[in-house]
């Protein structure tokens, strides 16, 4: 019996701006619910971006320096679980509706504007 060929993974070779925007939306839901801050402030902390972390708002560096704050994060998770679930479901539904409604306009933008200007590496 001959050996089977290994199937190659099919990944897109381009970066989608729409998918990145929805991924940021999901990250925002999680960081708001757990750490009471946005994703940029959570990653950067007080790194000079003009984003301040304050009372109840945590960044990665604060959590590494003071691991006892994870108890507060767990309390935030339990308190905001329902809100995070509803927001995630609503964002998922809006993502599907947006992509289905905007399929042709986005394809036209990609073929006429994005591909000639930026190549096939970035798409809307």
- Of residues 120 and 40, more confidence is placed in 40
How many CA within 13 A on the CB side of residue 36?
17
- Of residues 7 and 56, more confidence is placed in 7
Quote the Cα angle for 34-40-46, to 5°: 95
pLDDT band at 50 (very low <50, low <70, confident <90, very high): very low
Ranges of each domain in the chain: 15-123
- Of residues 12 and 73, more confidence is placed in 73
pLDDT digits (tens, 9 = 90+) for 52-84: 445 567 888 888 888 888 888 899 899 999 999
pTM of the predicted protein model? 0.78
Report the run of H or E that residue 10 belongs to, with start and end. none
Kindly provide the b/e burial profile for residues 52-66, where b requires at least 16 CB atoms within 10 angstroms of the residue's own CB. Answer: ebeeebbbeeebeee
Percent of the chain at pLDDT above 70? 89
């Amino acid at each position: 019996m001959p050996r089977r060929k290994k199937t190659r993974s099919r990944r897109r070779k381009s970066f989608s701006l729409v998918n990145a925007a929805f991924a940021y939306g999901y990250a925002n839901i999680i960081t708001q619910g757990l750490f009471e801050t946005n994703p940029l402030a959570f990653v950067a902390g007080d790194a000079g971006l003009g984003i301040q972390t304050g009372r109840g708002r945590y960044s990665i560096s604060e959590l590494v320096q003071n691991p006892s704050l994870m108890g507060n994060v767990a309390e935030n998770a339990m308190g905001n679980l329902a809100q995070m679930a509803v927001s995630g479901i609503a964002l998922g539904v809006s993502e599907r509706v947006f992509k289905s409604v905007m399929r042709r306009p986005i394809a036209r933008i990609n073929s006429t504007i994005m591909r000639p200007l930026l190549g096939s590496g970035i798409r809307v």
